[in-house]
Amino acid sequence: MYQLLDGKKISSEIKIELAAMVSKGKSEGGKTPHLAAVLVGNDGGSETYVNHKVKACEEIGFESTLLRYSDDISEDELLKVVDELNNNDQIDGFIVQLPLPKHISVDKVIEAIRPEKDVDGFHPLNYGRMASNLPAYVSATPNGIMELLKRYHIPTKGKHCVVVGRSHIVGAPVSILMARPDYPGNCTVTICNRYTDDLAKQTLQADILIVAVGSPGLITKEMVKEGAVVIDVGTTRVPDANKKSGFALKGDVIFEEVAPKTSYITPVPGGVGPMTIASLMWNTWLASRKIIFS
C-alpha cells in the first residue's frame, strides 16, 4: 500500500514551527521577519500566488509589504523599486512575482536583486552557490521537494532519480540537488527533456521519479517501476464542470493508476504546491537571521 507525501500537512507543520520561532524571537527582542512582494500588472494567477504568500506571512507572524504597479511600469522604474528594497533595512527579503510584462527583462531584474535578499533563490549567485553546495537560498519548488523527501525520511543515496523536465525553476535545480553529495542527494540522476528518445525507458529506471512538465496525464502506470517514489510537480488547470471554480488542477501523473504501483506519491493538489510557500517562508526566516549570507 502506498503512502501519500502530504505537502499540505507538512507545510502546515513548517508554518507552525516558524510561527513558534517568530514568537520566541520577538520575546527575545529579535527582529520580526519582513517579506516584500512586488506585483506588476493584473495577471490572475500571479495575484492569487502573491495573496497566498501575504496570507502565509500573516499566519506565521511575519510582516509583509505588497507593492503593486501597473503593467506599464518601465524597466528602469522597476529596477529603482528593486534598488529601494535592496537598501531598505526593514525588509529582510523580497520577491518580484513572475511573469513580468514583455518590455521588461526578467534576467536583468532578477540579477538586480541583492542576493542576500533574494528569498526566491532565482539570482544566478544563489543558483551557483546551490550547485556548488555552498550556503544559498534554494528556490521554492526544489526546496519544497527536498523538504518533503526529508520529512518522510526517503532514502536517496545510491538511488536512481529520474527528473522529467529541465526548467530553470524546477527540473534543472532539482536534478542538481539530487546529485549533490548531501541528503537528500547522492543519487544517480537522469534529466529528460522534450527530445528524450523513449521517455518510458528512462522513467522505468527511476527509484525516485520527479515530473515537472505541465502536461496532464503524461506519466502512465506503464512508465513507473514497482515501489518507486513519485513526485508530481505538474499543476495544470483543466476545465471541470463539477468544480465551483470551473476547473480542476491536474498533475503530470495519472494518479489513480500510478499510485498503486508506488511506495510514496504526492497528490495534486496538496503535494508539492503547498510546500513552495512554506519554502519561501523558511527562506525569509533565514534572511531575517542572516544565516545564508553572514
Alpha carbon distance 265, 278 (integer Å): 19
**Which CA distances in Å does 46 have to 6, 36, 122, 195?**
24, 15, 17, 30
Rank residues 57 and 177 by Cβ distance to a second copy and give the closer one: 177
Which residue from 11, 52, 53, 5 is spatially nearest to 33, judged by alpha carbons?
A: 53
Q: Which residues are catalytic?
A: 53, 97, 120
Dihedral of CA 126/131/137/139: which sign?
positive
Give the chain's length: 294
Rank residues 9 and 157 by Cβ distance to a second copy and give the closer one: 157
Question: Smallest distance from the beta carbon of 136 to a second copy, in angstroms?
Answer: 8
Rank residues 60 and 286 by Cβ distance to a second copy and give the closer one: 286
Q: Do 26 and 32 form a contact (C-beta atoms < 8 A)?
A: yes
C-alpha torsion 17→22→23→24, nearest 10: 90
Rank residues 115 and 144 by Cβ distance to a second copy and give the closer one: 115
Which residue from 243, 245, 250, 166 is spatially nearest to 210, judged by alpha carbons?
A: 166
Question: Smallest distance from the beta carbon of 162 to a second copy, in angstroms?
Answer: 9
Rank residues 150 and 194 by Cβ distance to a second copy and give the closer one: 194
Q: Is 121 left (phi over 0), alpha (psi -120 to 50) or beta?
A: left
Buried b (16+ CB within 10 A) or exposed e, 70-107: eeebeeeebeebbeebeeeeebbbbbbbeebbeebeee
Question: Smallest distance from the beta carbon of 262 to a second copy, in angstroms?
Answer: 20
Unique residue bearing C-alpha cell 543558483: 127
The conformation of residue 30, written as its DSSP 8-state character, comes to: P
Question: Smallest distance from the beta carbon of 51 to a second copy, in angstroms?
Answer: 28
Name beta bridge partners: 9.
none
Residues engaged in binding a second copy (CB under 8 A): 107, 123-134, 136, 157-158, 160, 166, 168, 172, 175-176, 179-181, 186-193, 195-197, 202
Question: Smallest distance from the beta carbon of 101 to a second copy, in angstroms?
Answer: 20
* Other CB atoms within 10 A of residue 201 CB: 10
Rank residues 55 and 168 by Cβ distance to a second copy and give the closer one: 168
Question: Smallest distance from the beta carbon of 109 to a second copy, in angstroms?
Answer: 13
